[in-house]
Structure 1
């Protein structure tokens, strides 16, 4: 069983590496997204800084909203790009304050027309097109208030607009046709909606507008982080990868071991061509069995670590013990073993896996050498009882009673350590049902919270949700 225990721990280490890599990538992606959010807010803050000094804004109190609209347009567009991790596309760089364009988007000139009234917006577009004969014709275009654009588009599609006279509708339709004639392009290519409604960029309203955009960006950031979290959940594909990798490694170890034993026990040298056809069949069969078992172990450990929140070494030890005890249960019911023999063999099997599991988990750092035997014996007994719950409850109860007699003989000095271990096992409960019951597919985050509490981490220091994480990172 020693070789099996070590091989199972190797499979557990492989699974643990896959789990750790996934979690590290999730943390990296979440940190990058938080940085994107910080960069996004910088663009909003630049707009706040601009509107915070009204005397530097062009125009009278009645027309300052025009330049405010330009800065909101550029700032919010760039904030959205930054949040998505994209290169910002809007800029004032290289644009004079009296140039034909107000800003550039993707290197294309854009003129902003935020005028009160649907017809007035289109009238100012036409005047600008008359003044600059290439504008609106060379891929450059106009931005008008988003709410105005929606109403004008409805009129363009022939929809009725409540509150507008037919005369006004006809006038707007005529201006749309004129814009299309001058530009020789569809209306929606020459005139496009800005990110703001007309009222949103007025001096008395723009601060509230920026607050709304900030809230929207924060909400979108939360959704992006949820997507990242969902993408990094344990899944069937990764579970199959874990099983496949464990199978490949287990098969390789078994092949090497078989070839070595052939040389050691029978003196047959692979490199001298001394292995017969029958030898190769035997080696191949051993390799195939070991590979299949390692694959099953990898898949089971993946389920235990991700669904039941167990550490990989403990999960590996449990798998090793499960295989051994299940075999002994079969022999017991076949009459090949007495209860005493079953009890002793079960303890030995589980003590072996418990010892290897403890070594892989913590070495002897937390376990004093004098109490090692009693500790391993306790863990072994617990393994047997937990496994038997899935095999035969009556047999489990009988084994538990026997374990209580064992514990009664253990020195009082060791009892404290053993009681602590038993307390931890109570939190684990029925490992087998947890591992394979899809209804108890506990999330990694929830498991980490439970683990932190189990190890005595102060409640105030445990990050339970995104608000806690945000406060930890930024406060």
Structure 2
């Protein structure tokens, strides 16, 4: 029994199993990332729905603030909801809280008090409203508070501050795009030094986006923006799960080092068994050692890059990919012996057949071992050891009938493994299709439009097998059910 062959086969299958483990880790992380992003998306959408509900219930229906001031309360609720939804879609915790107590602050942002001013009257860019608030609460800024104004007001202020006095006096005012009076007001406001630009922050919304007749569109547009962010995050997760050149280089280098190191140790051990001590090695011995080690490094590099490529870009299991490399190296060696006249054609064919059979046993044994012992590398090594030893025992000691039985058994296992692999892939594809259908129906069931939500709920119930006759499918049926008619 050639234990050296078993050890070498184990080393090869260990590398293959390790590469397979790296591939599986990437895919597992991708699936976890998608599942987490599903939750992030649901939370973000729920927050937008709650925001719109609160605006309608607490502000619009109560006519809070009247016609002139209602948009200010809408802005407060919308800022919190949209700000939190943007955090949640990225898997972060909400950072905004609506205070709603008519005190000095309207919001809390990461623990910082925020006073919002959405005022367009007089074209003062909300600055006069800030001045009035600071007179009423003079300690607001010194206690760490911040003012928040519409995004378009903030951008206009920054633009006006960037224009020098000479430029301002030369700019045309007839088009209405520039106002010298507004320019002076903004510069005078900040020249006083009481309030600095860093005391003011832009809202996530423009002034017109928080008006009563615009807020529904604003929330729907925000949902679409969040969907784009959601898709980008999923695409980034997918890109991170794909095989990379960097990982391929690392795998190749480590495989080369392992196989080269194994060859180095093997040659030294062989010479030690012949009776030579390491101190007695001459230049010829070391030349042979480094030659074999170099060949091992090259083979290991080829094996690493081949297994990585085959397992990631084709449907080849890692154990089979490693055995293909081993068989290729072995047949190439037999071809060299044939060309140099050291073996006959019959010997070449017979040796190649035996070599392919041995590598097949190694691959199958590793696959079975990894399945029975789902520990990375360990299962493949133990399976390879047992399978290879069993094959050698059969080859050397059993009758041809017994050998044929074992060979047929391994063939059966291999075919079964292929069938299970095909079934697994089919199930995965069917699951993906079902999940797509499910999410489409689920989104319709929770649509903001009542009629669309009702139809979506009916479709969702039928999707899960509820008979149509047991469902309330129209408004009239719902009224009749609850009215007892």
Where do residues 17-416 of structure 1 align in structure 2 (5 Å cutoff)? 17-53=21-57, 54-55=60-61, 58-92=64-98, 95=99, 97-117=101-121, 118-119=123-124, 121-135=126-140, 140-156=145-161, 157=163, 158=168, 163-164=175-176, 169-186=179-196, 188-250=197-259, 253-254=262-263, 265-266=273-274, 275-278=278-281, 281=286, 289-362=295-368
C-alpha displacement at 1:125, in angstroms?
2.4
Deviations 1:3-51 (A, max 9, x none): 4444322221121122222222333333333333333334323312312
Instruction: Answer whether contact 2:146 2:200 (CA < 8 A) is retained.
Output: yes
Instruction: Answer whether contact 2:79 2:205 (CA < 8 A) is retained.
Output: yes
Instruction: Answer whether contact 1:8 1:319 (CA < 8 A) is retained.
Output: no
Cα distance in 1 between the residues matched to 2:183 and 2:144: 23
Cα distance in 2 between the residues matched to 1:455 and 1:162: 72
Cα distance in 2 between the residues matched to 1:78 and 1:177: 34
Aligned partner of residue 346 in structure 2, secondary structure: helix
Aligned partner of residue 126 in structure 2, secondary structure: helix
Instruction: Answer whether contact 1:11 1:294 (CA < 8 A) is retained.
Output: no
Instruction: Answer whether contact 1:145 1:198 (CA < 8 A) is retained.
Output: yes
**CA RMSD of superposed structures (Å):** 4.3
Deviations 1:231-256 (A, max 9, x none): 23212221222233334444565566
Instruction: Answer whether contact 1:115 1:121 (CA < 8 A) is retained.
Output: yes
* TM-score in terms of structure 1 length: 0.69
Cα distance in 2 between the residues matched to 1:454 and 1:160: 73
Deviations 1:136-188 (A, max 9, x none): 5665332222233334443443576775287xx233223313421444454x3
C-alpha displacement at 1:323, in angstroms?
0.8
Change (3 A) 1:18 1:365: closer
C-alpha displacement at 1:91, in angstroms?
2.3
Give 2:11's match in structure 1, choosing from 1, 7, 32.
Answer: 7
Cα distance in 2 between the residues matched to 1:176 and 1:27: 52
Cα distance in 1 between the residues matched to 2:297 and 2:442: 44
**Equivalent residue number for residue 447 of structure 1:** none
**Equivalent residue number for residue 443 of structure 1:** none
Cα distance in 1 between the residues matched to 2:350 and 2:313: 31
C-alpha displacement at 1:216, in angstroms?
0.9
Cα distance in 2 between the residues matched to 1:226 and 1:50: 33
* Structure 2, unaligned runs of 5 or more: 373-386, 392-403, 444-459, 461-485
Which shows bigger deviation, 196-205 or 244-253?
244-253
Change (3 A) 1:276 1:334: same
Change (3 A) 1:472 1:212: closer
Instruction: Answer whether contact 2:243 2:312 (CA < 8 A) is retained.
Output: yes
Give 2:430's match in structure 1, choosing from 442, 458, 461.
Answer: 461
Instruction: Answer whether contact 2:125 2:153 (CA < 8 A) is retained.
Output: no
Deviations 1:377-402 (A, max 9, x none): xxxxxxxxxxxxxxxxxxxxxxxxxx
Instruction: Answer whether contact 2:173 2:180 (CA < 8 A) is retained.
Output: no
Cα distance in 1 between the residues matched to 2:269 and 2:438: 52
**Equivalent residue number for residue 399 of structure 1:** none
C-alpha displacement at 1:99, in angstroms?
1.4
**Equivalent residue number for residue 397 of structure 1:** none
The count of residues paired between Structure 1 and Structure 2 equals 396
* Structure 1, unaligned runs of 5 or more: 269-273, 367-371, 377-409, 425-450
Cα distance in 1 between the residues matched to 2:172 and 2:10: 78
Change (3 A) 1:38 1:138: same
Aligned partner of residue 63 in structure 1, secondary structure: helix
C-alpha displacement at 1:101, in angstroms?
1.8
